Amino acid sequence: MQQHLAAARAAAGDDLRAYLVLGEVAAPTPGRQALTPSQLMALPAPPPGKPFDNLHFVGSRWVSAWAITTSDGIILVDAMDNDADAERITEAGMRQLGLDPARIRTLVISHGHGDHYGGAGHIIRRSGCRVVCSALDWTMMETGLEFDRPDWGRPPRRDVAVQDGDVIRLGDTNLDALITPGHTMGTITLLFDVRQGGRTHRAMLWGGTAFNFGRRADRIPRLQAYIDATARAREIAARQNVEVFLSNHNLYDEAVEKLARMQPGAPNPFIIGSNATQRALTVMHECARATMAAWSA
Ligand SMILES: [Zn+2]
């Protein structure tokens, strides 16, 4: 366990320390008091922002939502905790950035937990969009939520199901869907192009990061799936020269802090480069292996 945690710390360097919180499952820091989801949900919403010409942050402090503009409308990735937050944070943020929420054509649910689908009902009613999730997580949402909270909206009705390797298309934009199991068994990680000032960069939006499977009987195979998924994603990211590594919880990718740092003419803090992308996936992978060592001891 200690070897894997040391490998994670080495990979994190100074710039990716946020991901080391995953090591807390294997080796909790004495006295550390993390904010609870309720406390995080209650924090004031950060301003929306535009890290790239075709990518917009419209989430809360706790959970991110990303709007991708295409030649034929908008793809929204994740739908907040509930209808009220989808309206107050995501829709309002889109309007502030000059986007019309009625132009959402596709809603991608990264995985079947309520902080990513809770406001789907509101988004669907406003826009009539299709909803995309993995077949596995549609089934989970229909047959047995593994987490639920009174302040989460209900799951949307099953619509489009994607599998590993499928492409989610809208207008001129392709999102490559990678199933990266672990956090849930049908977690979708997306690969797509982001553009800034005539330059294109490859981005990976990781669909589910934490090892919060509690004491469930299947936690060992799920953690193993996570270990395998991060190794596979690291190879794919290397092959595709992924330089932008995003999350659906900004605790990890520090999207809110990066947006606050963006300055016209200065380097874009979201372009971390292919080496840092590899290291981020290595931190996740090594923290998962440390956790496996702790759970198997
Ligand atoms: Zn989740």
Ligand 1 centre and the CA of 209: distance in Å?
Answer: 8
Mean pLDDT for all residues in the chain? 96
The pLDDT of residue 212 is 82
The pLDDT of residue 156 is 97
pLDDT at 214 over 70: no
pLDDT tens digit sequence for 155-170 = 999 999 999 999 999 9
The pLDDT of residue 20 is 96
- Token digits of residue 60: 């809360």
Give the integer Cα–Cα distance in Å for 280 and 204. Answer: 11
The pLDDT of residue 180 is 98
Give the integer Cα–Cα distance in Å for 291 and 293. Answer: 5
Ligand 1 centre and the CA of 197: distance in Å?
Answer: 34
pLDDT at 202 over 90: yes
What are the residues whose beta carbons fall under 8 Å from the beta carbon of 179, sequence distance 6 or more? 134, 136, 163, 164, 186, 187, 188, 189, 229
Q: CB of 16 within 8 A of CB of 252?
A: no
- Token digits of residue 59: 């989430």
Ligand 1 centre and the CA of 116: distance in Å?
Answer: 7
Task: Tell me 62's DSSP state.
Answer: S
Ligand 1 centre and the CA of 146: distance in Å?
Answer: 10
Ligand 1 centre and the CA of 182: distance in Å?
Answer: 10
pLDDT tens digit sequence for 18-36 = 999 999 989 998 888 888 8
The pLDDT of residue 103 is 98
Give the integer Cα–Cα distance in Å for 75 and 170. Answer: 8
Ligand 1 centre and the CA of 121: distance in Å?
Answer: 18
Ligand 1 centre and the CA of 13: distance in Å?
Answer: 26
CATH superfamily for domain 2-296:
Ribonuclease Z/Hydroxyacylglutathione hydrolase-like (3.60.15.10)
Give the integer Cα–Cα distance in Å for 174 and 185. Answer: 23
Ligand 1 centre and the CA of 185: distance in Å?
Answer: 11
As a whole number of angstroms, the longest Cα–Cα distance in the chain is: 53
Closest to 77 (Cα-Cα) out of 208, 182, 183, 184: 208
What are the residues whose beta carbons fall under 8 Å from the beta carbon of 27, sequence distance 6 or more? 1, 5, 290, 294
Ligand 1 centre and the CA of 71: distance in Å?
Answer: 30
The pLDDT of residue 145 is 86
Ligand 1 centre and the CA of 279: distance in Å?
Answer: 22
Ligand 1 centre and the CA of 208: distance in Å?
Answer: 6
Ligand 1 centre and the CA of 198: distance in Å?
Answer: 34
Q: CB of 214 within 8 A of CB of 174?
A: no
Averaged pLDDT for residues 236-241: 98
Task: Tell me 102's DSSP state.
Answer: G
Ligand 1 centre and the CA of 296: distance in Å?
Answer: 23
The pLDDT of residue 215 is 63
Query: Counting beta carbons within 10 angstroms of the beta carbon of residue 164, is it exposed (0 to 12), middle (13 to 18) or buried (19 or more)?
Result: middle
The pairing of beta strand 73-77 with beta strand 66-70: antiparallel
pLDDT tens digit sequence for 50-94 = 999 999 999 999 999 999 999 999 999 999 999 999 999 999 999
Ligand 1 centre and the CA of 42: distance in Å?
Answer: 18
147 pLDDT band, cuts 50/70/90, is confident
Q: Name the amino acid, one letter, at 68.
A: I
pTM, rounded to two decimals = 0.97
SS3 state of residue 118 = coil
What are the residues whose beta carbons fall under 8 Å from the beta carbon of 88, sequence distance 6 or more? 45
Ligand 1 centre and the CA of 205: distance in Å?
Answer: 14
Averaged pLDDT for residues 179-183: 97
All structural domains of the chain with their residue ranges = 2-296
The pLDDT of residue 217 is 81
Give the integer Cα–Cα distance in Å for 207 and 277. Answer: 15
Ligand 1 centre and the CA of 148: distance in Å?
Answer: 11
263 pLDDT band, cuts 50/70/90, is very high
Closest to 82 (Cα-Cα) out of 104, 105, 65: 65
Closest to 118 (Cα-Cα) out of 160, 92, 159, 90: 90
Strands, DSSP E only, in the chain?
Answer: 49-52, 55-57, 66-70, 73-77, 104-108, 130-134, 160-162, 167-170, 173-179, 188-196, 199-206, 242-247
* Percent of all residues in the chain with a pLDDT value above 70, rounded to a whole number: 99
pLDDT at 38 over 90: no
pLDDT at 216 over 90: no
Ligand 1 centre and the CA of 278: distance in Å?
Answer: 22
Task: Tell me 80's DSSP state.
Answer: -
